[in-house]
Amino acid sequence: MADDFPTQARAVIIGGGIVGCSLAYHLTRLGWRDVVLLEQGRLSSGTTWHAAGLVGQLRSHANMTRLIRYSTELYAALEAGTGLATGWKQCGSITVARTAERMTQLRRTASTARAQGVEIEVLTPAQAGEKWPIMRTGDLAGAVWLPGDGKANPTDLTQALARGARARGARIFEQTRVAGIRLKDGAVSMVETNRGTVACDVVAICAGQWSREIGRMCGVTIPLHSAEHMYIVTERIDGVHPDLPVMRDPDGYIYFKEEVGGLVMGGFEPDAKPWGMDGIPADFEFQLLPDDWDQFEILMKNALERVPALETAAIKTFLNGPESFTPDNNFILGEAPETRNVFVAAGFNSMGIASAGGAGRALAEWIVGGEPSFDLWPVDIRRFARFNGNRVWLRDRVKEVLGLHYAMPWPNHELTTARPFRRSPLFDRLAAKGAVFGSKMGWERPNWFAPPGIERRTGYSFGRQNWFAHVAEEHRACREGVALFDMTSFAKFLMQGPDSEQVLQTLCANDVSVPAGRSVYTPMLNERGGFESDLTVARLAPDCFLILTGTAQATRDAHWIRGHIPGSARAVLTDVTSGYAVIGVMGPRSRELLGRVTHAALDQADFPFGTVREIGIGYATVWASRRSYMGELGWELYVPSEFAVTVYETLAEAGGDLGVRDAGYYAIESLRLEKGHRAWGRELTPDDNPWEAGLGFAVQLDKKGGFIGREALAAARGRPLTRRLVSFLATAPDTPAAWGGELVTANGDPIGGITSAAYGYTLGGVVALGWVRSAGEPIDPAWLAERRFALDVAGEPVPVRARVCRHLTGGDSGATVFLIHSRSAFRKADRWGVMG
Ligand SMILES: Cc1cc2nc3c(=O)[nH]c(=O)nc-3n(C[C@H](O)[C@H](O)[C@H](O)COP(=O)(O)OP(=O)(O)OC[C@H]3O[C@@H](n4cnc5c(N)ncnc54)[C@H](O)[C@@H]3O)c2cc1C
């Protein structure tokens, strides 16, 4: 039996479900022949075989939609390419709304779909009934129709992908269990199986719900946890035919799909049932879990309301299978940050059939090309950290995650399970002052502060939310007085050693060869010239730099930086995030406040923008850095964690008569968007370069020694900017709230999408940033001036003014992008607050 078993391979794929087979298919299509896939049971015998097979294209992130659209194209073509049927049928899908709010959400979805180029139509209840005659429509508010959606047979798809892979050289071994992974010098070297060992250059973990344990074999954190997931299949029902679209009724948590003249009905209940707390059995092959009608009851009840014919339909099958879910309901893809040459595609949150085609291709391109071929941040494994692998935390979180598929995707929606998780030293102090916390990278962060007597809860809505007037006061404090921000969640690294400067010069597009005591804002670019990150580098000493980067980017940036420290360099990166709290002291009176608690000289001549210096505050010694994301005079204080409470109390007491206020992340969003300050992951991604983003001031093309991405940027420099980041402002009194994702039109034609939006209290209107594309003409102020721009907010065209996102000049109190910054504008905002 072991005769033909290989002793070495270029790539070993662990797992023969749809995802592993898709990866083998795409690796071989990219020319890697020496690919070995190992499956402990038989192909598709894990989770894939019992999937319902729905394939819905639309996701909130354009590149995620792109992945699934590719899946649909692949599935449609696979039979012709492999000779095996896949059951793919482009039957379209319909999603119905039971409430006015859900209909608003569907209209917003339609706007996002158009921004992403996905065909979509908004339907009346009657039109929905024509497409799905056996459903009750009397209670509906409307629906949307996506003609490109479809369904497929998961097992057949898997076999077709496997055949396609074999035809180009991949070898697939069933009944072969991986029992260990050996490492050499921090990289994978060998896979141990029940049939022998295979030496390899690359390992890809595509082992579904078993992936977490396999990750542990090689020190890789794969945070996923199984939950039970159920559907029923009925006998034939009159009116159900193979062309019947897939139908989703998210307010009832349910979906329907035709199968052999009957209906598959399943769903995503809000309170899910975790499974596999003691590990997933290795022999769980073509197996299911016991029926659980109690758990299914809520879905059944809602389905009977929607499709009365179910009352008399015979139920052929009750199917309960485990599927793996992740902490944020997005799958996990990419190169593991902990161990070299280990790649992961797992945790598909009941979207593995829809996603497998695109995910397999994206991972194959990543493996072969050494980096993702486009921005994959929503699914990038590096959005997690090691602490996300905690089993108890995962079990508690997964209860909520399954239901997210059909939960209302409210703006600012926060998950509530498995919290609080990471707490700043100021957490209790801020909670006592009314902080309403949100969560990012596990950190509890104040979103806004509820004054006494106001409920400490964000009231979700697509319109103005309950915090509007309170955040106005936080915003005002920062623009007119002084505000304190707990920004402890920033990721922080120390780069130390005699070669630190040289390493950072190669990584950073700006010139960080500055004297100790200076800080520099800089992009870190990939070879394509796209943003891998944007961060602040502060030189604390000749051989020591403090790097400040976004909360969510801690793992990713550390991985990128460490991956570019040459083996011979005397430079070490240390994550010091937990060691320092960050307190922002921001606003025109910040100097006055700080001046009361420090002996350090703070005036412009002594402490200009971009200075970083150790100063005393009360009893504590902290690093003070003069910079501001909010665009006001201000200092970020990097405070050793044990001094954080002291420093905070000292500032709060000293600022009483200055009206110092606590302010949260909703105020930051409003403040930074007025100034056109970009956020990595939204405005800035690996697909965007600094010229397009208006950040050319932070690029030193001619600095000695060059930097990663320089050649791409130099080549792009002279070309006309046909794609550009633009600031928008809408000040009409009845402007609806925008939240990001909206379609942008110019003279009525779609030309882009909004990445971030908020209410700008100083400007008195909706402020937004978004990417627009021209038909080939350079996008410049004249091009913008010639056109009438609008945002599509839930189907309503909202006229906006547009400005090229200005180059920052590197100051901390720059003008807003739209030059109407004045106190009278603020009074206007007050009037808005009353109306809200
Ligand atoms: C009830 C239900 C309905 C669903 N409906 C849909 C749907 O309509 N649309 C959709 O897109 N998705 C759906 N899904 C989700 C979908 O089934 C999964 O996301 C997908 O099958 C995951 O594929 P995979 O290849 O990652 O995992 P799997 O199919 O589980 O494959 C992983 C493989 O790895 C193997 N393996 C594990 N450990 C080892 C080892 N040590 N050595 C060797 N091999 C190993 C396992 O045996 C297994 O075969 C549904 C899921 C469920 C449970």
Condensed to tens digits (0 to 9), the pLDDT of residues 350-376 reads 999 999 999 999 999 999 999 999 999
Dump pLDDT digits (tens) for 517-570: 999 999 999 999 999 999 999 999 999 999 999 999 999 999 999 999 999 999
CA of 230 relative to ligand 1 center, distance in Å: 14
Residue 823 has pLDDT above 50, yes or no: no
At residue 805, the pLDDT reads 79
| Alpha-carbon span 577 to 561, nearest angstrom | 15
The pick from 323, 329, 379 for probing ligand 1's pocket by mutation, whose C-beta has the most ligand atoms within 8 angstroms, reads 323
Q: How does the average pLDDT of the chain come out, rounded?
A: 95
Q: With CA atoms as reference, report the closest residue to 144 among 172, 181, 105, 175.
A: 105
pTM for the model: 0.96
CA of 754 relative to ligand 1 center, distance in Å: 35
At residue 718, the pLDDT reads 86
SS (H, E, C) 350-371: CCHHHHHHHHHHHHHHHHHHCC
Which residue has a Cα nearest atom 35 of ligand 1?
15
Residue 340 tokens read as 């070299």
Query: How many CA atoms lie within 13 Å of 146's alpha carbon, on the beta-carbon side?
Result: 31
Decide: helix, strand or coil at residue 60.
coil
Residue 494 has pLDDT above 70, yes or no: yes
Indicate left, alpha or beta for 566 from its phi (over 0: left) and psi (-120 to 50: alpha): beta
Dump pLDDT digits (tens) for 720-779: 999 999 999 999 988 999 999 999 999 999 999 999 999 999 999 999 999 999 999 999
Q: Which residues pair with 622 in a beta bridge?
A: 615
> Do residues 517 and 671 make contact, with C-beta atoms less than 8 angstroms apart?
no
Dump pLDDT digits (tens) for 589-604: 999 999 999 999 999 9
Per-residue b or e along 446-468, where b marks 16 or more CB atoms closer than 10 Å to that residue's CB: bbbbbeeeeeeebeeebebbbbb
Which residue has a Cα nearest atom 49 of ligand 1?
46
> Do residues 539 and 545 make contact, with C-beta atoms less than 8 angstroms apart?
yes
DSSP string, 253-288: TEEEEEETTEEEEEE--SS--EE-TT---TT--S--
At residue 733, the pLDDT reads 87
CA of 495 relative to ligand 1 center, distance in Å: 41
Dump pLDDT digits (tens) for 103-114: 999 999 999 999
Q: Which residues pair with 528 in a beta bridge?
A: none
Distances 319 to 3, 257, 264 between C-alpha atoms, Å: 39, 14, 10
Average pLDDT estimate for 283-303: 97
* pLDDT tier, 829 (very low <50, low <70, confident <90, very high otherwise): very low
CA of 188 relative to ligand 1 center, distance in Å: 24
Q: With CA atoms as reference, report the closest residue to 449 among 460, 435, 465.
A: 435
Task: Please state the separation of Cα 434 from the chain's center in Å.
Answer: 28
* pLDDT tier, 605 (very low <50, low <70, confident <90, very high otherwise): very high
Residue 831 has pLDDT above 60, yes or no: no
Q: Quick one: what percent of the chain has pLDDT higher than 90?
A: 94
At residue 816, the pLDDT reads 61
Which residue has a Cα nearest atom 21 of ligand 1?
48
Which residue has a Cα nearest atom 33 of ligand 1?
15
Which residue has a Cα nearest atom 14 of ligand 1?
350
Q: Show the CA angle centred on residue 523, arms to residues 702 and 740, nearest 5°.
A: 140
CA of 242 relative to ligand 1 center, distance in Å: 25
Backbone angles phi, psi at 627, to 5 degrees: -160, 165
| Alpha-carbon span 371 to 712, nearest angstrom | 16
* pLDDT tier, 115 (very low <50, low <70, confident <90, very high otherwise): confident
Looking from the CA of residue 231, the nearest atom of ligand 1 is 1
DSSP string, 669-735: HHHHHHTT---BTTTB-TT--HHHHT-GGG--TTSTT--TTHHHHHHHHTS--SEEEEEEEE--TTP
Residue 44 has pLDDT above 50, yes or no: yes
Pocket of ligand 1 (CB under 6 A): 14-20, 38-41, 45-48, 50-54, 177-178, 206-208, 210, 214, 229, 231, 319, 321, 323, 346, 348, 350-354
| Alpha-carbon span 498 to 307, nearest angstrom | 71
Number of Cβ within a 10 Å radius of residue 109: 21
- 577 burial level (CB within 10 Å; 0-12, 13-18, 19+): buried
| Alpha-carbon span 448 to 435, nearest angstrom | 6
CA of 18 relative to ligand 1 center, distance in Å: 7
| Alpha-carbon span 696 to 714, nearest angstrom | 11
| Alpha-carbon span 665 to 563, nearest angstrom | 32
> Do residues 87 and 157 make contact, with C-beta atoms less than 8 angstroms apart?
yes
